[in-house]
């Protein structure tokens, strides 16, 4: 005889695991290549993430551009070579290095530019994080986390950088608009890493390199490099990442926003009128300019 309660719990955990999604290649010129993910590819299960680009940039590609209603996040991988030159209308001019993170809470509006210094090879994630309506029109602000300040979880056959939030007893940077955990991790051959996903948090897991298996309860997803999956919000649960041959992964976890929004490129507002108002404000110079 089966225990009905046990079966029900297993079914709930299985439903929390999303489908495996492959990124879309996006190449611009000869100096930018990316593996692109956007929220519609995950049927809402990526919330509050709107977009993630896993990219390599070796030459300036994008002109200064406006962000509004979101956080624009650059998470540099440790193997980046050279500096990523970051300027914005908050007055910052920062040379990001391998392992750094720059979180621009654009909110009401900020202009931003990033480009590699000459000879650099930037390997990173560009992440757009939705802001709830109550934060979309606040003043912009930013958070710079240097690699030297990122705590590292180590154990038998794993190493995980706790860039944001916490995993176990290790606490990374805080100060983002809404709580978020970001883990940049490595599992060695036949290794295993476990992260306790708190109640109400939704997770997005990406295989940067190698192949891994994500386990939640008795259910699992097998990810190869360039693919991602999700764990829907629900009760606290263990998320276990295993690899038989070694893998590099990123885990992002946060509370979903669950609000209607309208996207216009890097502007994400609650409705179309707010998008028009923001574009008009930008045209009038309200958010400032970045001069060459």
Q: Could you tell me how far CA 263 lies from the centroid of its own chain?
A: 18
What token pair was written down for 44? 């809402």
- Indicate the pLDDT class of residue 13, thresholds 50, 70 and 90: low
Sequence-distant (6+) residues with CB within 8 A of 31 are 57, 58, 59, 60, 61, 116
Q: Is residue 183 part of a domain?
A: yes
What average pLDDT does range 105-113 have in this prediction? 93
End-to-end Cα spacing for the chain: 73
Pairing of β 202-216 and β 237-243: antiparallel
Q: Is residue 5 part of a domain?
A: no
pLDDT for res 10: 47
Instruction: Assess contact for 245 and 224: CB atoms under 8 A.
Output: no
Domain CATH code at residue 95: 2.60.120.10
% pLDDT > 90, the chain:
83
Q: Which domain holds residue 221?
A: 13-283
Q: Is residue 235 part of a domain?
A: yes
Phi, psi (deg, nearest 5) at residue 12: -65, -45
Q: Among candidates 129, 80, 137, which has minimal Cα distance to 104?
A: 129
pLDDT of 142-196, one tens digit each?
Answer: 999 999 999 999 999 999 999 999 999 999 999 999 999 999 999 999 999 999 9
Tell me how many domains the chain contains. 1
pLDDT of 228-285, one tens digit each?
Answer: 999 999 999 999 999 999 999 999 999 999 999 999 988 899 999 999 988 888 787 7
- Tell whether the model's pLDDT for residue 5 goes beyond 70: no
Structure letter (DSSP) for residue 85:
E
Buried b or exposed e, range 40-61, using 16+ CB within 10 angstroms: ebbeebbbbbbbbbbbbbbebb
pLDDT for res 2: 41
Q: Among candidates 183, 186, 160, which has minimal Cα distance to 248?
A: 186
Q: Among candidates 184, 233, 211, which has minimal Cα distance to 18?
A: 233
Pairing of β 202-216 and β 70-76: unpaired
What average pLDDT does range 63-74 have in this prediction? 93
Say what the pTM is.
0.92
In whole angstroms, give the CA distance from residue 209 to residue 34: 14
pLDDT for res 290: 66
Burial class (CB in 10 A: 0-12, 13-18, 19+), 77: buried
What token pair was written down for 108? 């009401």
Q: Is residue 7 part of a domain?
A: no
What average pLDDT does range 102-120 have in this prediction? 95
């Amino acid at each position: 005889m089966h225990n009905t309660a046990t079966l029900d719990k297993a079914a709930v955990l299985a439903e929390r695991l999303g489908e495996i999604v492959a990124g879309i290649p996006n190449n611009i010129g000869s100096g930018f290549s990316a593996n692109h993910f956007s929220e519609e590819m995950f049927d809402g299960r990526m919330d509050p993430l709107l977009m993630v680009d896993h990219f390599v940039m070796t030459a300036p590609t994008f002109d200064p551009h406006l962000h509004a209603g979101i956080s624009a996040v650059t998470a540099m991988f440790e193997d980046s070579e050279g500096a990523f030159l970051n300027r914005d209308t908050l007055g910052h001019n920062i040379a990001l290095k391998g392992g750094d993170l720059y979180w621009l809470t654009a909110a009401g509006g900020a202009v931003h530019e990033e480009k590699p210094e000459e000879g650099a090879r930037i390997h990173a994630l560009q992440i757009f994080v939705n802001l709830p309506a109550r934060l979309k029109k606040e003043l912009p602000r930013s958070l710079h986390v240097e690699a030297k300040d990122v705590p590292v979880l180590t154990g038998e056959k794993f190493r995980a950088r706790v860039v944001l939030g916490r995993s176990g007893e290790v606490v990374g940077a805080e100060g983002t608009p809404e709580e978020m955990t970001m883990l940049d991790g490595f599992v060695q051959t036949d290794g295993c890493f476990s992260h306790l996903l708190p109640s109400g948090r939704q997770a997005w897991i990406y295989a940067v390199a190698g192949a891994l298996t994500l386990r939640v309860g008795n259910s699992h997803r097998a990810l190869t490099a360039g693919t991602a999956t999700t764990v829907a919000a629900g009760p606290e649960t263990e998320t276990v990442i295993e690899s038989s041959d070694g893998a590099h992964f990123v885990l992002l976890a946060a509370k979903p926003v669950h609000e209607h929004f309208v996207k216009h490129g890097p502007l994400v507002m609650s409705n179309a009128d707010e998008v028009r108002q923001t574009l008009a404000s930008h045209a009038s110079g309200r958010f400032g300019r970045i001069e060459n």
